[in-house]
Amino acid sequence: MKTRLYTPDVKLVLMASFFFLMSPMLINPVIAGFAHGIGASSVLAGTIAGLTNLTSLVLRPLAGNLTDRVSKYRLTFVGGCLLLLASLGYSLTTNVTLIMLLRILNGLGYTLCSVCMATWMASLLPPDRIGSGMGIYGLANALGMACGPAISVFLYQHYSYQSVFWLAAGSSLLLIIMIQFVGDHGEPIVTPQTATTKHHIRIVQPRVIPVALILLLFSLPYFSTQTYIVSYVAARHFHVAAGVFFPVYAGILLVLRIILRDWFDRVPFKRFIWLCLIFNLLGLIGLTDMNNWAMLLLGAAGLAAGYGLMFSICQAKALMLVPKADHGLANSTFYIGVDLGMSLGPIIGGLISSQLPMAWFYPVMMVTLPLIIVVYLVSRRQLA
């Protein structure tokens, strides 16, 4: 008999996680243009856009350690308040220095919420349903990541930057309101081991490093595509609309996560990784020769069934590898892989596009696939 998955607390955290991701995803697509419009140079505007991600990368270990020592509710509340403050701040100032400080606050809020809410969600799940539960949690995140940019661009084009910032503030406020009704505040688990090591700050959870590396390598093609697909389609003279890729990707991922949600608890990691490798390869093949809609569909479906599914699978695996008292540090280590993928994907894509013909963009990205195999084979006993 299956244990109950959708308790009232789980539903509330799922809804709160959607609103949490909506806030930064509304702001990210327009912040560089906003900064440029108030006087920042192109380079400075790009730096401002990247400050949140850089802050997040630097502070992940701190957030992971705090999550294992402080109430998840309290840290999520602080993170939500920082997101709210940053969103309101963008709408009230045109000072570039203040915008940079607000981006750092945004990064701190994002870091606290992303690590704490994932750990909080895991603590609310029955041990035998962590895979399914984190799959649905990933789905709520994916919806926030898909809806945020689309709504942001629409509001900017039809209204103003301020309308985007106000909606982001409203989304952060809804996050804060939602978590007030969660009964289980995710208090830290105290064990003899944690009691004796509570004064030691650990940067990463070593057992999760292979999982973070695997997800990093899976994510590089996706995040490089996110940055360069428009220029890639233009340079190769493909007669497809590059902007269609991401709604198709999000739609396919949504369907896959719903259909396969129970598989995450039953199918071993070693089978998923080989399947997802094959799908990522198919996705890269589709993107390489995207001269018709069928190939664009293959590219979107391949990356959705590859990187898209591996995100939830790796997050669930990271939590299963460690004791419950270390879930916060495990999540922060996992998200370091995500942050590095978001940072390195565009950088590597830029190097490829500047040094080689555009036709080589995705064939070079295929190098990530054998590297994933190497990482997996080295650590397969731990990950089986």
Predicted confidence (pLDDT) per residue in 11-27, tens digit: 899 999 989 988 888 88
Q: Which of 120, 145, 129, 16 is nearest to 331 (CA)?
A: 120
Query: Residues 41-51: what's their mean pLDDT?
Result: 76
CB atoms inside a 10 Å sphere around CB 193: 11
CB atoms inside a 10 Å sphere around CB 187: 12
pLDDT at 351 over 80: yes
pLDDT tens-digit series, residues 214-267? 999 999 998 888 777 877 888 888 888 877 887 888 888 888 888 877 676 677
- Which amino acid belongs to residue 307? Y
Q: Which of 323, 332, 19 is nearest to 192 (CA)?
A: 323
Higher pLDDT, 38 or 197: 38
What are the counts of helices (DSSP H) followed by strands (DSSP E) for the chain? 17, 0
Query: For residue 11, what is the enclosing H or E element?
Result: helix 8-37
CA–CA distances in Å: residue 262 to residues 6, 131, 317, 380: 13, 7, 14, 23
- Report how far residue 38's alpha carbon sits from residue 40's, in angstroms, rounded to the nearest whole number: 6
Asked, colleague to colleague, whether 8-196 and 206-383 share their fold, the answer is yes
Confidence of residue 274 (pLDDT cuts 50, 70, 90): very high
pLDDT at 2: 54
CA atoms within 13 A on the CB side of 313: 29
- Report how far residue 146's alpha carbon sits from residue 79's, in angstroms, rounded to the nearest whole number: 21
pLDDT at 200: 65
Q: Which of 11-15, 283-287, 364-368 has the lowest mean pLDDT?
A: 11-15
pLDDT tens-digit series, residues 64-115? 778 778 888 999 999 999 999 999 999 898 888 999 999 999 999 998 998 8
pLDDT at 384: 63
pLDDT at 129: 75
Q: Reduce the secondary structure of 202-239 to three states and give it as a string.
A: CCCCHHHHHHHHHHHHHHHHHHHHHHHHHHHHHHHCCC
**What are the helix (H) ranges across 38-71?**
42-67
Is domain 206-383 annotated with CATH 3.40.50.300? no
Tell me, rounded to whole angstroms, the distance of Cα 148 from its chain centroid: 13
- Report how far residue 264's alpha carbon sits from residue 131's, in angstroms, rounded to the nearest whole number: 5
CA–CA distances in Å: residue 6 to residues 120, 130, 132, 134, 180: 14, 12, 11, 12, 18
Instruction: Please tell me the pTM assigned to this model.
Output: 0.77
Q: Which of 22-26, 32-36, 371-375 has the lowest mean pLDDT?
A: 32-36
Confidence of residue 377 (pLDDT cuts 50, 70, 90): very high
Sign of the dihedral through C-alpha 313, 316, 322, 327: positive
Q: Which residues contact 317 (CB under 8 A, 6 or more apart)?
A: 211, 269, 383
- Report how far residue 146's alpha carbon sits from residue 134's, in angstroms, rounded to the nearest whole number: 18
Q: Is the CB of residue 257 less than 8 Å from the CB of residue 312?
A: yes
Query: Residues 50-56: what's their mean pLDDT?
Result: 81
Give percent of the chain with pLDDT exceeding 70: 93
Average pLDDT, the chain: 84
- For the chain, the domains span 8-196, 206-383
pLDDT at 47 over 80: no
pLDDT tens-digit series, residues 166-218? 999 999 999 999 999 998 887 876 655 545 455 566 777 888 899 999 999 99
CATH code assigned to 8-196: 1.20.1250.20
Higher pLDDT, 358 or 197: 358
- Which amino acid belongs to residue 226? Q
CA–CA distances in Å: residue 80 to residues 15, 50, 77, 95, 329: 14, 20, 5, 23, 20
Q: Is the CB of residue 268 less than 8 Å from the CB of residue 131?
A: no
pLDDT at 1 over 50: no
Q: Which residues contact 260 (CB under 8 A, 6 or more apart)?
A: 135, 309
Q: Is the CB of residue 40 less than 8 Å from the CB of residue 91?
A: no
pLDDT at 360: 92
Token pair, residue 57, equals 């990368």
DSSP one-letter code for 379: T
